[in-house]
């Protein structure tokens, strides 16, 4: 058996689909007409029942349709229709793996082998055994279940179940209610349908009208040989359709590998609320698609098209954001092609629309753009959903999904990067260099910890750029870092390795508080040793000094550095303070790097 | 009977009117410094702790925090809210902190408001918060999020007069929120501010015997260690009638 899901007035319903459920319900009973055609003379392309009752007909001009009181006129959007068709196919795919996209607003699914599925669904709800339920009740249940799923997706549909796909399509299109045609009774049920229901070319429809044939019954009763003599093979085909006697295989759709959704605004928007609403809808579609294909989002990409042409006179550009010209676009269209790209790499694959939307919303709330937004495109990189259970012996940690939201909220408070380009939020990672204070922040993630117990045994080369590794080989090992490494035991000799595990017998040591940036100062020398150091505008006597420790590096490029380091004990009103000072030999300037605290 | 009826009537309106408030059974996180762990049994969970020390002189508060983080990151995930961006990752790793398990939030370092004009909800340009407010907001977010066993907020780089203006209600709110979570909230400040909201207050200073003395130990040309004093201003069980002191010494990374 085959089921046909038919969406009446598909362009109208597709235009209503992005609206919230309440608005959609309110608009359903209003006269709505969809306009299509040249911009200077658009005509009514489709209208709903309320509009037809109000007198709006297909082919009317916009001016004529506008005369109808309360009529809502909308431009046809192919993107919305494609999105609606995709949603319809996703909905149909929930019930059968064999689905045909027959026409816009029409999907036919093969119900072979699904009788038990529908019977089991209802039986489990009622708590009765499957064996006691009559098998012939499965198709009415299928009708109800599919109708409910379509309503949940936002469609008002008509469904027909028949023994062949074309009969199901004609019945769904011709009758105003859900219908089940038992096998062998196709001709009897189709008899009352008007021949306009058939997909006929206008010439053939005119011919049949001239013959006085108005119903399927009349067409089916014509002698076959005489009909073929007059109308050819097409005549035979439509007669078989009218008899419900055509059996053909379904042209099933291939799983769509493109997990993307886009939206183009009629007029560029300047406020977040408008794009949040659309993004929510697009994410809903993508997550439905992911669910239908049993996949999850591993990465989310948002491409925002900016209407820079509008601002060409003002020449305002936002250089702070990653606005790059569209790849492969014509230079003529370059001003229209400015876009802003945002990527979220998710630590754990997810199908949760709310999580994805929160990530996007929190990020965009911190973002501003140089021009109004004209289009949105969301793309998901599908991966297999996470199936493994977390490690029972892993340390207690925030939920991975919740952690991403938390980090995004924190970035909203403290910012994303500092003036040097380092992240403001993350896990610290020491760079493999002798340059003092060299660090970066990597993405803070608990997934490695929770699901791979051996994460601590990562080799240092995995996370360290090759350039910094080469700098180690060439750096002069004469600085304080070298001094420290010499004095450390073998367990601590991996000081510069980022993922080394803490020594179980780690003993407390004196920590250094760094001043970022280092404080400029002046130092009075007694011979070669510091005697007085100016600390926050006050000269402080040096009680003891340890040094000098010389170090240098990167002499082969512009980032060269060379310094002479001292650890000094300064006399302050609050007591002795141990500071690290150094002299930058290139700049010939003294700095206070930090305080031992 | 009349009293029971009256009690029932009150409980109908205010269900928690006669509920006896019970504190959570609290564990603790060891600091890794035996003298402190012996004296106060580590930093209590479900509680707010303050570690105080001078910002001008070396007090040892950061070293205690580093040692605490080193112990905590062995088995837990921790967060460090750094109000003035003073944390040194190299020192942290030398102290034994597992850096991949530490969420480091650097406050007051962002580039400020962007120049874009469009798609801002609300005000045209975002006002950059001062570091203290950023630190408090981030601590609040982390507490709401949960999952971090130790949340350390380093406010010692912020001028004392600014931290003093923080209303007591803020400290009280933090102490009530942390009570419900299996986590420790540690503030690093120059002076104690949370008063009774803190379960443990430690004041750290350098052990000096006389003016001009240097409490550090130099071995040849190397600074190797110095001596510290820890004063327990407020303990976990009850406030001591007289604060207790304990002394210890910390070595340098290379000693």
Sign of the dihedral through C-alpha B89, B94, B95, B100: positive
Radius of gyration, CA atoms only, chain B: 21
Q: Would you say residue A503 has pLDDT above 60? A: no
| B144: nearest CA partner in chain A | A406
Q: How confident is the model at residue B213 (pLDDT cuts 50, 70, 90)?
A: low
DSSP letter string, A417-476: BBTTS-BSEEEEEE-SSSSTT-EEEEPP-SHHHHH-GGGGG--GGGTS-HHHHHHHHHSB
* Partners of residue B215 in chain A, C-beta under 8 Å: 576
How confident is the model over A223-266, as pLDDT tens digits? 888 888 888 888 888 888 888 888 888 888 876 677 888 888 87
- Residue carrying the six token digits 């304990």: B246
- Inter-chain contact A272–B111, Cβ cutoff 8 Å? no
What's the confidence (pLDDT) of residue B132?
A: 92
> In this structure, are residues A90 and A259 in contact, taking their beta carbons and an 8 Å threshold?
no
Of the candidates B188, B183, B186, B129, the one whose C-alpha atom is nearest the C-alpha of residue B163 is B188
- Give the residue from B64, B42, B69 showing the smallest Cα distance to A596: B64
**Range scoring the smallest mean pLDDT among A23-27, A464-468, A512-516, B85-89:** A464-468
Average pLDDT over chain A, rounded to whole? Answer: 78
B contacts of A543 (beta carbons < 8 Å):
212, 214
The position carrying tokens 């629309």 is: A353
The model's confidence at residue B195, banded by pLDDT at 50, 70 and 90, is confident
Summarised one tens digit per residue, pLDDT across range A52-71 is: 888 888 888 888 888 887 88
Task: Tell me which chain B residues have a C-beta less than 8 angstroms from the C-beta of A540.
Answer: none
Nearest residue of A to residue B105 by CA position?
A425
Q: What is the distance between the alpha carbons of residues A72 and A30, in angstroms, rounded to a whole number?
A: 7
CB-CB under 8 Å, A418 with B111? yes
Report CB contact under 8 Å: B94, A402: no
Asked if B250 lies within 8 A of A508 by C-beta distance, the reply is yes
Cβ-based neighbours of A236, under 8 Å, separated by 6 or more: A224, A227, A228
Mean pLDDT (whole number) for A417-433: 87
Is A349's pLDDT higher than 70? yes
Question: Is residue A15 within 8 Å of A72, Cβ to Cβ?
Answer: no
- A147-A153-A157 Cα angle (round to 5): 40
- Tell me the average pLDDT across B138-147: 91
In terms of pLDDT, which residue wins out, A585 or B17? A585
Contact flag B116-A369 (C-beta cutoff 8 Å): yes
H-type alpha helices, A431-589: 447-451, 466-474, 480-487
A578 and A595 in contact (C-beta within 8 Å)? yes
Cβ contact B99–A543 (<8 Å): no
Q: Is the pLDDT of residue B142 over 90?
A: yes
Highest mean predicted confidence (pLDDT) among A251-255, A460-464, A493-497: A251-255
The closest CB to that of B96, out of A316, A498, A506, belongs to A506
- CB spacing of B70 vs A506 below 8 angstroms: yes
> Which residues of chain B lie closer than 8 angstroms to A270, CB-CB?
118-119
Structure-token pair, residue B135: 């630190």
Asked if B33 lies within 8 A of A410 by C-beta distance, the reply is: no
Residues of A in contact with B147 (CB under 8 A): 396-399, 402-403, 446
Subunit contact A428:B91, Cβ cutoff 8 A: no
User: What distance in Å separates the CA atoms of residue A102 and residue B171, rounded to the nearest whole number?
Assistant: 65
Tokens of A519: 């404080």
Which pLDDT score, from 0 to 100, does residue A224 have?
A: 87
What is the pLDDT, as a whole number, of residue A500?
37
CA distance B93 to A494: 10
Q: Which of B103, B156, B206 sits opposite A576 (nearest CB)?
A: B206
Give the C-alpha separation, A391 to A548, whole Å.
50
Using a CB–CB cutoff of 8 Å, tell me whether B225 touches chain A.
Answer: yes
Min Cα–Cα distance to chain A from B160, Å: 14
Reported confidence tier of residue A428, pLDDT bands at 50, 70, 90: very high
Q: What is the CA radius of gyration of chain A?
A: 36
Indicate yes or no: CB of B88 within 8 angstroms of CB of A513: yes
ipTM of the complex: 0.84
Place of tokens 């969970």: B45
Nearest residue in B to A576, CA atom:
B57
My answer on whether omega of the bond before A517 falls inside 30° of 0, hence cis, is: yes
pLDDT of A340 above 70: yes
Strands B222-234, B216-219: pairing kind = antiparallel
Could you give the CA distance from residue A114 to residue A290 in angstroms, rounded to a whole number? 22
Q: Is residue B104 within 8 angstroms of chain A, CB to CB? A: yes
Band (A476; pLDDT cuts 50, 70, 90): very low
Q: How far apart are CA A551 and CA A562, in angstroms?
A: 6
Rounded Cα–Cα distance for residues A68 and A455 (Å)? 69
Q: Are B117 and A316 in contact (CB under 8 A)?
A: yes
Written as six digits, the tokens of A413 are 């408070």
Kindly report the nearest CA distance between residue A86 and chain B, in angstroms: 29
For position B152, what pLDDT does the model report?
95
State the average pLDDT over residues A478-493. 38
Q: Tell me, what's the pLDDT at A71?
A: 85
B59 and A597 within 8 Å at the Cβ level: the answer is yes
Q: What does the H/E/C string look like for B143-183? A: HHHCCCCEEEEECCCCCHHHHHCCCHHHHHHHHHHHHCCCC
* pLDDT value of position A467: 31
Query: Is the per-residue pLDDT at A302 higher than 80?
Result: yes
Locate the chain B residue with the closest alpha carbon to A448.
B100
Tokens of A248: 């053909």
Considering chain B, what percentage of its residues have pLDDT values greater than 90? 36
Q: Which residue of B has its CA nearest to A397?
A: B147
| Contact list, A274 vs chain B (CB under 8 Å) | none
| Residues shown for chain B | 255
Residues of B in contact with A275 (CB under 8 A): 119
Burial class (CB in 10 A: 0-12, 13-18, 19+), B98: buried
Residue ranges of B 174-203 with Cβ closer than 8 A to chain A: 182
Closest CA–CA distance from residue A548 to any residue of chain B (Å)? 9
The reply to whether residue B223 touches residue A546, judged by beta carbons under 8 angstroms, is yes
Tokens of A234: 């097409």
**Over 90: is that where the pLDDT of B141 sits?**
yes
Q: What is the pLDDT of residue A256?
A: 67
Answer whether A567's CB lies under 8 Å from A547's CB: yes
> What distance, in Å, lies between the first and last C-alpha atoms of chain A?
79
Q: What is the 3-state secondary structure (H, E, C) of A61-125?
A: EHHHHHCCCCCEEEECCHHHHHHHHHHHHHHHHCCCCCEEEEECCEEEEECCCCHHHHHHHHHHH
* pLDDT at residue A488 is higher than 50: no
- And the tokens for A422? 């380092």
Encode pLDDT of B31-47 as tens digits.
888 888 888 888 999 89
Contact: A273, B121; criterion CB under 8 Å: yes
Q: Which residues of B150-180 are buried (b: 16+ CB within 10 A; e: fewer)?
A: bbbbbbbbbeeeebeebeeeebeebbebbbe
- Give the residue carrying structure tokens 């809210």: B81
**What is residue A412's three-state secondary structure?**
helix
- Please provide the distance, in angstroms rounded to a whole number, between the alpha carbons at the two ends of chain B: 74
Among candidates A399, A437, A597 on the partner chain, residue whose Cβ is nearest the Cβ of B58: A597
Nearest to residue B96, comparing CAs of A441, A507, A453, A456?
A507
Per-residue pLDDT band at B251 (split at 50, 70, 90): confident
Is the model's pLDDT at A492 over the cut of 80? no
pLDDT at A291: 83
Q: Provide the token pair at A67.
A: 């005369």
pLDDT digits (tens, 9 = 90+) for A543-571: 888 878 889 988 888 889 999 998 888 88
Task: Indicate the pairing of strand B47-52 with strand B184-189.
Answer: parallel
CA–CA gap between residue A71 and residue A61 (Å, rounded): 13
Other beta carbons less than 10 A from residue A358's beta carbon: 17
Which one has a higher pLDDT value, B133 or B217? B133
- For residues B111 and B56, the model is more confident at B56
Average pLDDT over residues A282-309: 85
Contacts of A267 (CB under 8 A, 6+ apart): none
Range with the poorest average pLDDT among A244-258, A509-523, B190-204: A244-258
Burial of residue A317, with CB atoms counted within 10 A of its CB: 0-12 exposed, 13-18 middle, 19 or more buried: middle
For chain A, say whether B162 makes contact (Cβ under 8 Å): no
Å between A324 CA and nearest CA of chain B: 15
Does A325 have pLDDT greater than 50?
A: no
B103 neighbors B77 (Cβ within 8 angstroms): yes
CA distance B219 to A210: 115
Task: Enumerate residues 6+ apart whose C-beta is below 8 A from B16.
Answer: none
Nearest partner of A580 among A434, A432, A493, A481, judged by Cα: A481
Residues of B in contact with A504 (CB under 8 A): 74
Whether the CB-CB separation of A552 and A563 falls below 8 Å is answered with: yes
pTM of model > 0.90: no
C-alpha closest to that of A81 among A135, A38, A34:
A34
Q: Give the SS3 label for residue A342.
A: strand
Contact residues on chain A for B64, CB-CB shorter than 8 A: 508
B53: pLDDT strictly greater than 50: yes
User: Of A73, A27, A26, A23, whose CA–CA distance to A47 is shortest?
Assistant: A73
């Amino acid at each position: 058996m085959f089921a046909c899901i038919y969406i009446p007035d598909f362009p109208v319903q597709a235009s209503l689909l992005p609206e919230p459920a309440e608005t959609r319900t309110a608009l359903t009973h209003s006269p709505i007409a969809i306009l299509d055609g040249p911009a200077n003379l658009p005509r009514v392309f489709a209208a709903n029942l309320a509009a037809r009752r109000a007198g709006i007909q297909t082919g009317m001009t916009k001016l004529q349709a506008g005369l109808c009181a309360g009529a809502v006129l909308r431009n046809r959007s192919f993107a919305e229709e494609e999105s609606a068709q995709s949603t319809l196919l996703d909905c149909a795919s929930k019930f059968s793996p064999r689905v045909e996209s027959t026409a816009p607003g029409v999907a036919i699914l093969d119900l072979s082998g699904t009788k038990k599925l529908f019977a089991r669904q209802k039986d489990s709800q009622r708590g009765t055994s499957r064996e006691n339920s009559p098998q012939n009740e499965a198709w009415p249940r299928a009708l109800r279940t599919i109708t409910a799923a379509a309503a949940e997706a936002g469609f008002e549909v008509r469904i027909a179940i028949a023994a062949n796909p074309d009969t199901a399509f004609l019945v769904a299109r011709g009758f105003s209610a859900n219908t089940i045609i038992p096998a062998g009774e196709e001709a009897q049920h189709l008899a009352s349908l008007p021949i306009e229901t058939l997909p006929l070319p206008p010439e053939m429809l005119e011919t049949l009208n001239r013959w006085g044939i108005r119903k399927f019954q009349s067409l089916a009763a014509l002698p076959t040989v005489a009909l073929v003599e007059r109308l050819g093979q097409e005549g035979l085909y439509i007669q078989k359709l009218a008899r419900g006697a055509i059996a053909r295989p379904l042209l099933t759709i291939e799983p769509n590998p493109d997990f993307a959704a886009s939206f183009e605004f009629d007029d560029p928007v300047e406020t977040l609320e408008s794009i949040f609403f659309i993004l929510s809808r697009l994410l809903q579609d993508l997550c439905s698609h992911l669910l239908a294909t049993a996949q999850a989002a591993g990465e989310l990409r948002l491409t925002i098209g900016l209407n820079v042409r509008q601002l060409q006179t003002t020449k305002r550009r936002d250089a702070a954001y990653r606005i790059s010209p569209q790849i492969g676009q014509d230079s003529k269209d370059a001003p229209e092609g400015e876009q802003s790209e945002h990527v979220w790499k998710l630590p754990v694959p997810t199908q949760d629309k709310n999580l994805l939307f929160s990530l996007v919303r929190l990020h965009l709330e911190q973002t501003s753009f140089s021009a109004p937004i004209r289009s949105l495109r969301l793309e998901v990189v599908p991966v297999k959903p996470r199936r493994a259970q977390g490690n029972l012996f892993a340390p207690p940690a925030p939920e991975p999904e919740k952690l991403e939201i938390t980090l995004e909220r924190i970035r909203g408070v403290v910012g994303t990067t500092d003036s040097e380009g380092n992240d403001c939020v993350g896990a610290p990672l020491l760079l493999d260099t002798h340059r003092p204070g060299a660090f970066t922040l990597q993405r803070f993630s608990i997934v490695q910890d929770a699901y791979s117990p051996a994460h601590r045994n990562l080799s240092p080369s995995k996370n360290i750029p090759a350039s910094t590794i080469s700098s180690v080989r060439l750096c002069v090992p004469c600085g304080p870092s070298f001094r420290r490494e010499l004095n450390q035991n073998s367990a601590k000799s991996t000081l510069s390795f980022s993922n080394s595990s803490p020594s179980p017998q780690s003993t407390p040591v004196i920590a250094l508080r760094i001043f970022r940036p280092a404080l400029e100062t002046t130092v009075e020398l007694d011979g070669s040793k510091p005697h007085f150091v100016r600390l926050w505008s006050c000269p402080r006597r040096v009680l003891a000094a340890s040094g000098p420790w010389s170090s240098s590096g990167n002499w082969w490029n512009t980032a060269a550095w060379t310094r002479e380091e001292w650890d000094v004990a300064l006399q302050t009103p609050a007591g002795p303070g141990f500071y690290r000072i150094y002299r930058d030999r290139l700049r010939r300037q003294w700095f206070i790097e930090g305080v031992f605290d | 009977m009349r009293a029971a009826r009256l009690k029932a009537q009150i409980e109908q309106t205010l269900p928690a009117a006669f509920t006896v408030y019970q504190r959570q059974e609290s564990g603790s996180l060891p600091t890794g410094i035996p003298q402190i762990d012996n004296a106060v049994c580590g930093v209590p969970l479900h509680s707010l702790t303050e570690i105080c020390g001078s910002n001008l002189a070396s007090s040892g508060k950061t070293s205690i925090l580093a040692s605490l983080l080193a112990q905590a990151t062995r088995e837990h995930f921790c967060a460090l809210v750094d109000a003035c961006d003073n944390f040194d990752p190299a020192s942290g790793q030398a102290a034994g902190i597992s850096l991949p398990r530490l969420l480091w939030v650097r406050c007051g370092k962002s580039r400020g408001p962007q120049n874009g004009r469009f798609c801002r909800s609300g005000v045209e340009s975002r006002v950059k918060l001062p570091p203290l407010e950023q630190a408090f907001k981030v601590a609040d977010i982390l507490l709401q999020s949960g999952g971090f066993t130790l949340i350390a907020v380093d406010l010692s780089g912020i001028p004392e007069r600014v931290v003093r203006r923080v209303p007591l209600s803020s400290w009280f709110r933090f102490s009530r929120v942390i009570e419900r979570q299996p986590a420790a909230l540690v503030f690093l400040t120059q002076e104690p501010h949370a008063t009774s909201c803190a379960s443990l207050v430690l004041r750290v200073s350098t052990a000096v015997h006389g003016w001009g003395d240097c409490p550090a130990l130099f071995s040849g040309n190397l600074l190797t260690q110095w001596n510290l004093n820890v004063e327990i201003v407020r303990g976990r069980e009850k406030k001591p009638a007289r604060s207790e002191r304990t002394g210890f010494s910390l070595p340098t990374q290379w000693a």
